[in-house]
Amino acid sequence: MEGDRIEEVRLVHSPVDEISHLALDIGGSLIKMVYFSTSREQPIDKTQINASRDSHAVSRSSKDGHLLNGRLYFLKFETSKINECLDFISSKQLHYRGLQHCGFPASDKNIIKLTFSTMVKATGGGAFKFADLFKEKLGISLDKVEEMSSLVSGANFLLKAVPSEAFTYVNGQRNYVQIDHNDLYPYLLVNIGSGVSMIKVDGDGKYERVSGTSVGGGTFWGLGKLLTKCKSFDDLLEMSHQGNNRVIDMLVGDIYGGMDYLKVPVHFLVTWEQIGLSSTAIASSFGKAVSENRELEEYRPEDVARSLLRMISNNIGQVSSHKLDFCESKGEAKAMFLRHEGFLGALGAFMNYQLVEEFPDTIHLAGEKNRNPLVGDLNDNGVIECCVQARPAVED
Amino acid sequence: MDGLRKDQSLVGATDNINEETNNITQKVISEGGEETMVPPVGNSIHRSSSRPQLDLSGAAIQGNFEERDPTILLPNQSDDISHLALDIGGSLIKLVYFSRHEDRVVNDKRKKSAKERFGVSNGNIRRTFPILGGRLHFVKFETAKINECLEFIHSKQLHRGDNDNAVIKVYTMFEKATGGGAYKFADLFKEKLGVSIEKEDEMDCLVAGANFLLKAIRHEAFTHKEGHKEFVQIDHNDLYPYLLVNIGSGVSMIKVDGDGKFQRVSGTNVGGGTYWGLGRLLTKCKSFDELLELSQRGDNSSIDMLVGDIYGGLDYSKIGLSASTIASSFGKAISENKEIEDYRPEDISLSLLRMISYNIGQISYLTALQLGIKRIFFGGFFIRGHAYTMDTISFAIQFWSKGGAQAMFLRHEGFLGALGAFMSYEKHGLDDLMVHQLVERFPMGAPYTGGKIHGPPLGDLNEKARWIQGPDLVCSNQKGTYFICNLLQISWMEKFVRKGIKITAPVPTASPRTTGLGGFEAPSSKGDTLRCDESNLNVGVLHLVPSLEVFPLLADPKTYEPNTIDLADPNELEYWFTVLSEHLPDLVDKAVASEGGTDDARRRGDAFARAFSAHLARLMEEPAAYGKLSLANLLELREECLREFNFFDAYSTIKHRENEASLAETRLLTLIEGVLAANIFDWGSRACVDLYHKGTIIEIYRMSRKKMQRPWRVDDFDAFKERMGFGDKKHQRHKRALLFVDNSGADVVVLVANSLPALNDVTAMELPEIVAEAAKHCDILRGAAEAGGLLMDAMINIQDSPREKSSSTPLMVVENGCGSPCIDLRQVSSELAAAAKDADLVCCFNILYIYLVILEGMGRALHTNYNARFKCDALKLAMVKNQRLAEKLIKGNIYDCVCRYEPAN
């Protein structure tokens, strides 16, 4: 379960001491949560023991109000276990959006009381589906933010504000890409959720859904679960790393006797496991299962998971590549990945509060360490330090 | 019956030859020139001296005499067996072979005179039409039962042909997949048939096959939306480039720019192999077809995460997704704590099918878009005419192109590879074949491309008649058992016979069978009504008739549509099916009578009725089964079916009697009146048959003459009269008039007649006789007939001085190339074309009006061609003998008359 890290979160101070903002992206299979907290105590992660830094919430003044330093936290829950999510919000009182004891000089106007928030920004299909549940359990209304605009504003924010957010993956190596803000647009955003959306982004708030496919993360997990009896997405992914797809896939050589009929260059390749193999090698995914009289049980689950992953990721890459026609030189198009890729929607919903100032200088990843970029780092939910304007609730 | 087949299999039968090599008396048993070579087996074989025989001179056993099944060498074959090509697939072997058939030599004298007159000699025809006439056959076998295929090839001596080097061209994709594919079978072919097989390049084959189909068959391509097929006529000049998507184990996307010009531009590894492979692992299905069959009863919403599942039933309309759109294939399997066993295999299969089809559709469209290609054709074993698959692909393309692009499928899709391999022979002679030279026929034995496997077309008529009577009788067939096994595999016929489906009158179709798209809705009709083989299409035998031409006087052959009535309208379809069904018993009576009412004739008559009813039932359930359905096709199918059961002229008795009873009217008005009234004698019309039962036709004719006062319902007589020179203005006389005659009987003013009998339509063979008889009563006719070389005594002089014989207008007879009451002017005989060809010359001088085309009768002037436009003057004459047609077409009533004159320009 991707929400695993939540369990490792410990809170030292009482939540009342904190300022928090919460945004949700409730998808078909996962709930992604982004929240901002001024708490100095960040969630402690086993892998991030040395991550604590002295990050006093420092206030700076701006024209519109106060700026707060704090951190953005990223969490995932399974949608089927939505109660865990509700409990978490409740326990951390994240739906209390308040500013108190924050080190601000108290003035009449700027005293901010603990305010019960009635609205939480939310996106994803579940924002509609579970609206009643949130109302009932937590007494909050979900303020629905349109899904694609969330994805886009989340991605734009990350690409512009967070250094070393994007990376390419070549031969098992992560290479961080410095994005030139002036040369960011247009880009194709391929959002792989349960399904896959492909969005051409031309600027802030300027985007168009150009393609998509129903063969996405949900397919990998769903089919994988049926085929391997694997209990979690991460297990499945982990298993796929140890598998060999040649056992089940019919390779080009299998069909064409080694002749290479595939003369088309592959422009764009998204591979989840980021192995970077050419998609051309597979002639027919699961094609070998046709001719061999082997039952499902006779295949290693690892191999099955591997074939599945290759099938789905190659396919996404291919469907995406066709939508790159706005790139002048397709040959140079590269697949880039975002460190916070799972949280684009939630982050975008958070952006919808219009709290975050995009000061790239002030935003950095907390806990940025030299970690092994390979295994176990697929969902690098790096905490982002950033500034948030302190203006809501009071002025209204 | 399986046991029976094995016991007396061909292999066993050929054993006898060891003992009686000199005693080979076996004959080719065939029907209508259909070669069907059967190896010798005993003496109790039906023989027909009228049929071509295998030349057994020089026959010898090849190889070791001790062998169990030696090959018999028959070196002196006539040239009517030709090339053979195979597509050896993982589950099916598809076979395409060509048999040559020369036109039957009929009525030599008449033909000769007509040809001389039009300056066409036999030699000329040969040179003008280098393509050999013949038939292209399509047959399927299960790969697992390759011996049946070998036996078939052997029995037909297909591997001999005129192909001395004894190489069979093979298309195969399953090299290593099947553990050897073509190469695995190579030894088998060598051993059993003594031939080598030669693997052709896969993509060359696909492209050659597709190009041939798209160029040579008028209604080959069709779209498939929500269960509804619609044929698309492809303009040959605007065919390229197109995207050919071949869905095999994987998917190849090929951009085709012309003959032999193509490039693989894309593809995906998620294809048929994925469906089958994953499906097998998930459902434990034993075969691809089983898996496909399962999907018919599936409901993918139990496994797929739909947009509605995410949005709580709300549509996410902003991006154009309906609640039933699949958001994530297999996405629901995530959140539910179910094991694989907890899901219905049916649902899994459908979910998988949709995922893969949709994905292929999407990538195909994206590829086409990127390359700026307008047309996308789909083929490959994955499709199999399967409605869901086609609908899903179509939906994907429609969705992503926002309606701008369409997925097209091919009727002969399953034979693409085999056909391509066939095309790779250097001398197949089909390169320049044009659409109008090809006629597709659907004999009872023609394969039906379903999941089912089929043998060759039935060879022997008696066998066919027996078989159609019921399966029990099959066993009594003495001719050797080979065909029995194949007969049993003709599944759709079998279905009708076994289930005892009796067609009294077609029932209205249920609500249009939908496969539930427009979103990925669950299928609205499930279960048996959507069996996978029912959505498939029949593949007939392609008759190549090189002498057919487009009628030169058609104003615009491209836009010409012969049919007046649109059978796509379910009401029309139902109505005409009822008419045909109700008329059937009477037709059978006439047919049986025409053959002297013998037991044999009765038996064949019953078989014909069964067979034609089966055709109708098949068409009722799938109107697109035989290609684009039209009334003309339907009527032709009936005639063809009659001929298949050896009723070559069901109305001969009646025609003869009526012709004697009525002859000659000459003046213009009386002539046309006569034509119209005589039109009453029409066995295609139920109303007329009823009338006929009450009196003789000539009485009715006289009566109707009296009643038939002008003005007629459509009456251009005055204009026509004026044109004919009876008015004030002077007109140039028509240089040549082409009169398409229909019913035999009272009206005998002739020029163009059917090549083969259809209903009671007079044929080109009969006409001279009738004219000769009529000429006895009429000097003008006599003069004309003599001038036209129709009368025997005139024949002598014709070559010396045809024009000075008399001042009479020459009267000649040509055949139109048809065997149907209707006429499709895109496919007429070269003889007729030649008669009209002079007009082409005249055309240059803009004096086309001196030609006149007269179409006469319901079939030719109303059912078809009523709206046809010609380069020259045209007169359409008919009496409407069908209330519904009268209402539809001329807003009139039954027995109303049509005299439609349309001057050129």
Q: Do B90 and A290 touch (CB under 8 A)?
A: yes
Instruction: Give the integer Cα–Cα distance in Å for A237 and A230.
Output: 10
d(CA B729, CA B739): 24
B583 is written with which tokens? 């008329």
What separation in angstroms does the CA of A264 have from each of A21, B268, B345, B374, B890? 48, 12, 37, 20, 59
The CATH class, in words, for B665-902 is alpha beta
**Residue A144 β-bridge partners:** A122
Work out the pLDDT band at B16, boundaries 50, 70, 90: very low
Q: What pLDDT sits at residue B645?
A: 79
B336: chain A residues, CB-CB within 8 Å: 80
- How far is B146 from chain A, CA to nearest CA, in Å? 17
Residues 90-119 of A with CB under 8 A from B: none
Look-up of token digits 């030609």? B851
Q: A136: helix, coil or strand? A: helix
Residues facing residue B754 across a β-bridge: B763
Q: Looking at the complex, does the CB of residue A323 fall below 8 Å from at least one CB of chain B?
A: yes
E strands within B676-786? 714-715, 736-740, 752-753
> Reduced to 3 states, what is the DSSP secondary structure of residue B85?
strand
ipTM of the shown complex: 0.71
Q: Distance between the two ends of chain A, CA-based, in angstroms?
A: 40
Question: Residue B424, SS3?
Answer: coil
Cα–Cα dist A285/B268, whole Å: 9
pLDDT in tens, B280-308: 899 988 888 888 888 888 888 888 888 77
Which one of B329, B337, B344 makes the best mutation probe of the A interface by having the most chain A beta carbons within 10 Å? Answer: B329
Q: Residues of A with CB below 8 A from B401's CB?
A: none
Instruction: Give the architecture (CATH level 2) of A166-338.
Output: 2-Layer Sandwich (3.30)
Domain ranges of chain B: 218-416, 665-902
Written out in words, the top-level CATH class of the domain with range B218-416 is alpha beta
**N-to-C CA span, chain B:** 65
Assign A389 a pLDDT band (cuts: 50, 70, 90).
Answer: low
Q: In sequence order, which residues have a C-beta less than 8 Å from that of residue B778 and are 6 or more positions away? A: B663, B664, B666
Question: Does residue A15 have a cis peptide bond before it, meaning omega lies within 30 degrees of 0?
Answer: no
The shortest CB-CB distance from B310 to any of A129, A213, A290 is to A129
pLDDT in tens, B607-635: 888 888 888 888 887 788 788 888 888 88
Do residue A284 and residue B274 have CB atoms under 8 angstroms apart? yes
How far apart CA B899 and CA B891 sit, in angstroms, is 14
Q: Which of B:179-218 have CB within 8 Å of A? A: 179, 202-203
Rounded Cα–Cα distance for residues B497 and B489 (Å): 12
Q: A295 vs B472, which has greater pLDDT? A: A295
Among A21-35, B467-481, B702-716, which stretch is predicted with the lowest mean pLDDT? B467-481
Identify the burial level of B707 via C-beta atoms within 10 angstroms of its C-beta, where 0-12 means exposed, 13-18 middle and 19 or more buried. exposed
Residues B706-716, mean pLDDT to the nearest whole number? 65
Interface contact B274-A215, CB threshold 8 A: no
Any B CB within 8 A of A30 CB = no
- Between CA B506 and CA B212 the distance in angstroms is 36
In chain A, what percentage of residues exceed pLDDT 90? Answer: 2
What lies within 8 Å, CB to CB, of B891 at 6+ separation is: none
pLDDT of A29 higher than 60: yes
Q: Note the pLDDT tens digit of each residue in B832-878.
A: 777 666 544 433 333 344 567 777 777 777 888 888 888 777 778 77
Cβ separation of A229 and B339 shorter than 8 Å?
Answer: yes
Q: Which tokens sit at B611?
A: 């067979």
- Take residue B179 and report the two structure tokens written for it: 């553990």
* Cβ count near B179 (within 10 Å): 12
The residue type of B14 is T
**CB-based burial label for B898 (10 Å; 0-12, 13-18, 19+):** buried
Q: Is the backbone of residue B817 left (phi > 0), alpha (psi -120 to 50) or beta?
A: left
Instruction: Count the residues in chain A.
Output: 396
- Mark yes or no for CB contact A286/B173 under 8 Å: no
Q: In what order do the strands lie in the sheet with A173-177?
A: A173-177, A166-170, A337-338
Asked whether the beta carbons of A189 and A24 are under 8 A apart, the reply is no
Task: Find out whether A4 and A47 touch, Cβ atoms under 8 Å.
Answer: no
Separation between Cα atoms, residue B395 and residue B403, nearest integer Å: 9
pLDDT score at B369: 87
Q: Which two tokens stand for residue A246?
A: 């040649």
Report pLDDT for B27. 32
- The residue ranges of every structural domain in chain A are 2-154+340-390, 166-338
Helix (H) or strand (E) holding B873: strand B873-879
Highest mean pLDDT among A54-58, A137-141, B86-90, B881-885: A137-141
How far apart are the CA of B180 and the nearest CA of chain A, in angstroms? 10
- Within 10 A of B32 (CB to CB), how many other CB atoms are there? 16
Q: Cβ of B177 under 8 Å from any chain A Cβ?
A: yes
C-alpha A34: how far from its chain's center?
10
Looking at every residue in chain B, the average pLDDT score rounds to 65
Q: Give the integer Cα–Cα distance in Å for A268 and A275.
A: 14
Which of the residue ranges B337-341, B792-796, B819-823 would you say has the lowest mean pLDDT?
A: B792-796
Six token digits for residue B190: 């060598």
What's the pLDDT band for A373 if we cut at 50, 70, 90? very low
Residue B314 forms contact with A (CB below 8 Å): yes
Candidates B184, B204, B334: best to mutate against A (most CBs of A within 10 A) is B334
Give the three-class secondary structure for B553.
coil
Three-state secondary structure of B4-64:
HHHHCCHHHHHHHHHHCHHHCCCCECCECCECCECCCCCCCCCCCCCCCCCCCCCCEEECC
pLDDT tens-digit map of B410-432 = 888 878 888 888 887 766 666 66
Model confidence at B469: pLDDT above 80: no
